[in-house]
C-alpha cells in the first residue's frame, strides 16, 4: 500500500478509472481507492450514446464493445402519448452505435486499463473515513482497508470521484451552487425475454403522467425504468411497501396504449427493483485547496437524460487536461480551479439547465402535443432532437433551428 502519491482518487468507476488512466499516461503517481469489490454493479442508467463510445474506444477499451453481449444500438424511439418520434443516432466522429453495457463489465474494463499504467495503483475494499488536512489544505485520506486496518495515505491532491453520496464532498461540508429537487420517482430492474418490436433500440415513452424507458443490455436482457410524479401517493406507497409487486403491476397497467403489456407475456424480472424515490439535480463547487470533485460527486442531473456515463468520462477528461496543463497544483491553484470550473460550465451547463426543466412535472399541453406531432414529420427537427442526447447538436442550436421551423409552421397554420 503506497503511503504517499501525487493523486488519490476516491472512487474507481467511470470517472475515477478514466481519470487515473489519463493521469497514468502522463506518469502521475495515482492511488485509486474504492470501498467496493470489483467487478460489481452500481445504480446507473447504463446507456452510452455513440459520442461516448467513440471516446472510450480512443482510451483503449475497444475490446469491450467487440466482446460484450449487449447489442449495438443506433435506433431511438420516443413516444409522447400517440406521437412517435423515431430515427437513428446522428453519427459522431464516424461512430454510429451506442450501447447499454452492465456496469460490472464497463467499470472492470476501465479499471483494468487504468492499472495497466505502472504509476497507477488500486486499493480495493478501502473505505475512506476522513480527509487529512494541514493549514486548511487537504493533504491525504484516512481509511480502513479490506482487513479492517486504519491507514493514512498522503497526496498532493485528493479527488472525489465517489458519486452522488461522495464521502470527499461530505467531509468538505460543501453546499451546492444549484439544487433543484426532481418531481419524479424512478425505479428499474432487468427483464429477460421481453419482446422487441424490431431491431434493438433506445426506447423512451411518456404516456400520460408516466414514463417507461427500455434499453437492451447485456446477457440478452433489457434494463427497464419507470418513473412517475412523486406526489402520486398510491404508487409511491406501493413501491415503498412491495417494490417488485408494484413494479410488475406498473408495467402491465400504465402502458397499454402502446401495447407494452403484450411484450411482457414471457418476460421475467431477474433482479430486485432499485430506484430513486427522491433526488435533487445538484451542482457543487468543484475544486479547492488540495481537493477536486468529478462526475456525480460534482454534479448530478435527472437520469432521464441518460448522461451519467458521458458526464463521468468527459468530466474526468476535462480534469486530466487541466491537471496536466498546470503541473504545480499548489502555486497555480487559482488558474487551475478557474479553468476547470469554466470547462465544466462550457461542456455541461446547457444540458444541466435543460435537465432542470425536464425534472419538473408538467402535463403535456395541447401546444406541446402539436409540436411533437410536427416534429414527428420533420426530419431535420427530429434529427436535432435525438442529437441532443449524443451531443451531435448543442441545446442552443437545436432551440434556435427547431424553434424557427415551428414558428414558421404555426404561421402557416
Confidence of residue 402 (pLDDT cuts 50, 70, 90): confident
Question: Cell numbers of 186, please?
Answer: 424512478
User: Residues 353, 374: one domain?
Assistant: no
User: Which of these, 247, 251, 341, 312, lies nearest to 107 by C-alpha position?
Assistant: 312
The answer to whether the beta carbons of residues 372 and 85 sit under 8 Å apart is yes
User: Which of these, 315, 38, 294, 322, lies nearest to 158 by C-alpha position?
Assistant: 294
Confidence of residue 332 (pLDDT cuts 50, 70, 90): very high
pLDDT in tens, 54-63: 999 999 999 9
Residue 11's pLDDT is: 98
Residue 330 domain-assigned (yes or no): yes
pLDDT in tens, 60-94: 999 999 999 999 999 999 999 999 999 999 999 99
Listed residues 230, 260, 276: the one ending a domain: 276
Residue 88 domain-assigned (yes or no): no
Residue 242's pLDDT is: 98
Residues 6+ apart with CB under 8 A from 309: 14, 44, 45, 46, 47, 48, 52, 106
205 φ/ψ sector (left φ>0, alpha ψ -120 to 50, else beta): beta
pLDDT in tens, 92-120: 999 999 999 999 999 999 999 999 999 99
What mean pLDDT comes out for the span 220-228? 97
Residue 397's pLDDT is: 80
Domain that holds residue 380: 366-412
Q: What percent of the chain has pLDDT over 90?
A: 89
User: Residues 222, 294: one domain?
Assistant: no
Residue 394 domain-assigned (yes or no): yes
pLDDT in tens, 345-355: 999 999 999 99
User: Which of these, 255, 265, 258, 228, lies nearest to 86 by C-alpha position?
Assistant: 258
Of residues 150 and 397, more confidently modeled = 150
Residue 90, CA distances (Å) to 84, 117, 267, 278, 391 in order: 18, 34, 31, 33, 9
CA distance 210 to 227: 6
CA distance 358 to 183: 9
Q: State the CB neighbour count (10 A cutoff) for residue 262.
A: 9
* Residue 289 exposure: Cα atoms within 13 Å on the Cβ side: 8
Confidence of residue 412 (pLDDT cuts 50, 70, 90): low
Residue 3's pLDDT is: 84
pLDDT in tens, 36-51: 999 999 989 899 999 9
Residue 266, CA distances (Å) to 193, 239, 317 in order: 6, 23, 43
End-to-end CA distance of the chain: 70
Q: What percent of the chain has pLDDT over 70?
A: 99
- As for how many domains the chain has, the answer is 3
Question: Cell numbers of 4, please?
Answer: 504517499
User: Residues 238, 174: one domain?
Assistant: no
Residue 141 domain-assigned (yes or no): yes
Residue 342 domain-assigned (yes or no): yes
User: Which of these, 301, 336, 284, 384, lies nearest to 76 by C-alpha position?
Assistant: 384
Residues 6+ apart with CB under 8 A from 167: 10, 128, 129, 160
CA distance 207 to 251: 12
Question: Cell numbers of 199, please?
Answer: 431491431
Mean pLDDT rounded to a whole number for the chain: 95
pLDDT in tens, 239-277: 999 999 999 999 999 999 999 999 999 999 999 999 999
**Rg of the Cα atoms in the chain:** 22
Look at 131-145, 159-173, 204-218, 395-409 and tell me which has the smallest mean pLDDT.
395-409
Residue 393 domain-assigned (yes or no): yes
Residue 226 domain-assigned (yes or no): yes
Question: Cell numbers of 216, please?
Answer: 437492451
User: Residues 159, 284: one domain?
Assistant: yes
CA distance 49 to 389: 7
Position 413 pLDDT exceeds 60 = no
Measured at the CA of 225, the angle between CA 399 and CA 362, to 5 degrees, comes to 45
What mean pLDDT comes out for the span 121-141? 98
Sign, CA dihedral 16-19-25-31, equals negative
User: Residues 348, 247: one domain?
Assistant: no
User: Residues 14, 133: one domain?
Assistant: yes
Residue 300 domain-assigned (yes or no): yes
- The partner residues of 137 in beta bridges, in order of sequence, read 134
Residue 278's pLDDT is: 93
Listed residues 311, 331, 357: the one ending a domain: 357
Helix or strand holding residue 26 (H, E):
none
Listed residues 334, 357, 380: the one ending a domain: 357
Position 130 pLDDT exceeds 60 = yes
In three-state secondary structure terms, 252 is helix
Residue 241's pLDDT is: 97
Amino acid at each position: 500500500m503506497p503511503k504517499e502519491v501525487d493523486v488519490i482518487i476516491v472512487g474507481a468507476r467511470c470517472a475515477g478509472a478514466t481519470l487515473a488512466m489519463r493521469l497514468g499516461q502522463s506518469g502521475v503517481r495515482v492511488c485509486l481507492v474504492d470501498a467496493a469489490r470489483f467487478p460489481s454493479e452500481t445504480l446507473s442508467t447504463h446507456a452510452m450514446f455513440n459520442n461516448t463510445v467513440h471516446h472510450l474506444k480512443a482510451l483503449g477499451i475497444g475490446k469491450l464493445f467487440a466482446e460484450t453481449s449487449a447489442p449495438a444500438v443506433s435506433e431511438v424511439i420516443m413516444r409522447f402519448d400517440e406521437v412517435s418520434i423515431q430515427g437513428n443516432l446522428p453519427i459522431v466522429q464516424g461512430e454510429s452505435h451506442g450501447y447499454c453495457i452492465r456496469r460490472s463489465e464497463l467499470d472492470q474494463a476501465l479499471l483494468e486499463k487504468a492499472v495497466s499504467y505502472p504509476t497507477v495503483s488500486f486499493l480495493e475494499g478501502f473505505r475512506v473515513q476522513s480527509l487529512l488536512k494541514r493549514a486548511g489544505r487537504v493533504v491525504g485520506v484516512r481509511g480502513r482497508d479490506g482487513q479492517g486496518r486504519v491507514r493514512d495515505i498522503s497526496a498532493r491532491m485528493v479527488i472525489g470521484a465517489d458519486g452522488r453520496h461522495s464521502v470527499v464532498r461530505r467531509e468538505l461540508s460543501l453546499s451546492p451552487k444549484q439544487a433543484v429537487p426532481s418531481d419524479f420517482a424512478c425505479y428499474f430492474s432487468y427483464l429477460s425475454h421481453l419482446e422487441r418490436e424490431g431491431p434493438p433500440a433506445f426506447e423512451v415513452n411518456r404516456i400520460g403522467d408516466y414514463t417507461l424507458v427500455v434499453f437492451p443490455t447485456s446477457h440478452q436482457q433489457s434494463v427497464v425504468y419507470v418513473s412517475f410524479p412523486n406526489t402520486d401517493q398510491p404508487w409511491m406507497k406501493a413501491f415503498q411497501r412491495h417494490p417488485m409487486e408494484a413494479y410488475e403491476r406498473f408495467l402491465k397497467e400504465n402502458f397499454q396504449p402502446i401495447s407494452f403489456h403484450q411484450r411482457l407475456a414471457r418476460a421475467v424480472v431477474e433482479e430486485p427493483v432499485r430506484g430513486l424515490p427522491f433526488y435533487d439535480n445538484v451542482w457543487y463547487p468543484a475544486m479547492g485547496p488540495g481537493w477536486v470533485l468529478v462526475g456525480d460527486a460534482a454534479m448530478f442531473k435527472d437520469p432521464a437524460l441518460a448522461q451519467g456515463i458521458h458526464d463521468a468520462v468527459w468530466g474526468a477528461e476535462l480534469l486530466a487536461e487541466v491537471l496536466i496543463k498546470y503541473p504545480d497544483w499548489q502555486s497555480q491553484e487559482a488558474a487551475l480551479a478557474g479553468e476547470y470550473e469554466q470547462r465544466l460550465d462550457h461542456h455541461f451547463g446547457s444540458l444541466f439547465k435543460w435537465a432542470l426543466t425536464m425534472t419538473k412535472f408538467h402535463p403535456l399541453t395541447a401546444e406541446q402535443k402539436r409540436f411533437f406531432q410536427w416534429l414527428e414529420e420533420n426530419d431535420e427537427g427530429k434529427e436535432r432532437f435525438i442529437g441532443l442526447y449524443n451531443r451531435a447538436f448543442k441545446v442552443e442550436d437545436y432551440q434556435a433551428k427547431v424553434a424557427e421551423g415551428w414558428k414558421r409552421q404555426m404561421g402557416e397554420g
